[in-house]
Structure 1
């Protein structure tokens, strides 16, 4: 497993972006999916979301490496196997502290890296759409992409030499805008906007077309749920 040390990279070492992906312990993740999945299925879905997100990010030509900030050992092993670097959540002080720490860890290895924080729950993520978003971000010192609901944030970027200054959670679109980050205004990047917090979000992601791990886990879980109801 890759821990603090050498960064995992995609096939293009000249790709400009390092991504930081935060992931809370799986047993605590996706509690708002209770209407769509039981307590056993939800952690497996949360891991599948993260796996499909990280795999798509590493397949993006603009992304050089992905650092996942997590203290979940099962998730760390699975995501490291995909090529992500695992950064322990040393601050243990919530999402934004984890993202700041992850960005610092990336720049300890690559001081001039352009860094972007990316949600871990983007199971429909398309590498080509992520590339378009990062290209849009590259012309600003700091920039962000709002979520499908128009309230939160799914990506926040910081150019080389700029602090990330994350303010995720709740109405983060407003906070990131107030912090001076430019909003990335693009059509046709729905897969980068569609995070999954609720059953409705999951349905929207499934309509877009989720990655293979989420599709497999959802199908297996749905069959299990149907079987338990029939019994």
Structure 2
């Protein structure tokens, strides 16, 4: 991303446990949006060529597989209209909900949250990017455990411009406003910015070849790692 970093006021430092207490029930439902694979990750087109849809699916598979290993996650719900992605993500154990393609990213997330709460009894929900191929479950545990202290909270991306995670407690509207400089908009909406330092894998979304190189340095999941040698990096 080329957008500038917009500084925000510093919040007081609080410390949280990195994982739930022994025996604590996983409380969070993750909602992840995924475009039809033919349209996804357009900024990777030059580097990937015809491999782009397959790589977009690899990102999502690695992200969901890691998320489902998190001790704090009860379920992952993916909002997509892509039949191949839907089948493969469901095989991993994700719930899949049809998207409203013309309505956009934030409408898809709001729809996913509504389905999660009305049909699956979800309380606390977290919208998360589906392009976090280096995601580590223990880092997701840290973020969600910290977020549980606030009605709404968010985590900025590596560039401190966008958002990779937005959370809402049970009974609280998520009010997603992803896209572009969403860090500023989520902060302006009253969501608390989480400032955890040691969670690089959950901040590293992948939109460009530089992003992918950085994710590979962190260590991606197996689906992305298998395709990376075929990408012109």
Question: When the two structures are superposed, what TM-score results if normalisation uses the length of structure 1?
Answer: 0.88
In the TM superposition, 1:41-190 aligns within 5 A as 41-90=51-100, 92-111=102-121, 113-190=123-200
Aligned partners of 2:79 and 2:97 also within 8 Å? yes
In the alignment, the residues of structure 1 paired with residue 170 and residue 180 of structure 2 have an alpha-carbon distance, to the nearest angstrom, of 27
Q: Residue 32 of structure 2: SS of its match in structure 1?
A: strand
In the alignment, the residues of structure 2 paired with residue 108 and residue 28 of structure 1 have an alpha-carbon distance, to the nearest angstrom, of 30
Worse-matched range after superposition: 48-57 or 29-38: 29-38
Q: RMSD across aligned C-alpha pairs, in angstroms? A: 1.6
Tell me how far 1:111 sits from its aligned partner: 4.0
Q: Which runs of 5+ in 2 are unaligned?
A: 1-22
Question: When the two structures are superposed, what TM-score results if normalisation uses the length of structure 2?
Answer: 0.87
In the alignment, the residues of structure 1 paired with residue 153 and residue 134 of structure 2 have an alpha-carbon distance, to the nearest angstrom, of 22
Q: Residue 155 of structure 2: SS of its match in structure 1?
A: strand
Tell me how far 1:159 sits from its aligned partner: 0.2
Q: Is 1:32 the counterpart of 2:38 in the alignment? A: no
Tell me how far 1:13 sits from its aligned partner: 9.4
In the alignment, the residues of structure 1 paired with residue 121 and residue 221 of structure 2 have an alpha-carbon distance, to the nearest angstrom, of 32
In the alignment, the residues of structure 1 paired with residue 221 and residue 46 of structure 2 have an alpha-carbon distance, to the nearest angstrom, of 22
Aligned to 2:218: 208
Number of residue pairs the alignment of both structures matches: 211
The C-alpha deviation readout for 1:77-135, integer Å capped at 9, x for no partner, is 01000000000014640000000000000001344510000000000000000000001
Tell me how far 1:35 sits from its aligned partner: 3.5
From 188, 192, 204, give the equivalent of 1:194: 204
Q: Residue 140 of structure 1: SS of its match in structure 2?
A: coil
The C-alpha deviation readout for 1:120-172, integer Å capped at 9, x for no partner, is 00000000000000011000000000000110000000000000000000000
Aligned partners of 2:28 and 2:122 also within 8 Å? no
The C-alpha deviation readout for 1:187-227, integer Å capped at 9, x for no partner, is 110000000001110000000000000001222x24xx69x
In the alignment, the residues of structure 1 paired with residue 94 and residue 53 of structure 2 have an alpha-carbon distance, to the nearest angstrom, of 19
Aligned partners of 1:27 and 1:43 also within 8 Å? yes
Aligned partners of 2:28 and 2:125 also within 8 Å? yes
Aligned partners of 1:92 and 1:98 also within 8 Å? no
Change (3 A) 1:136 1:104: same
Aligned to 1:229: none
Q: Which runs of 5+ in 1 are unaligned?
A: 1-11, 227-231
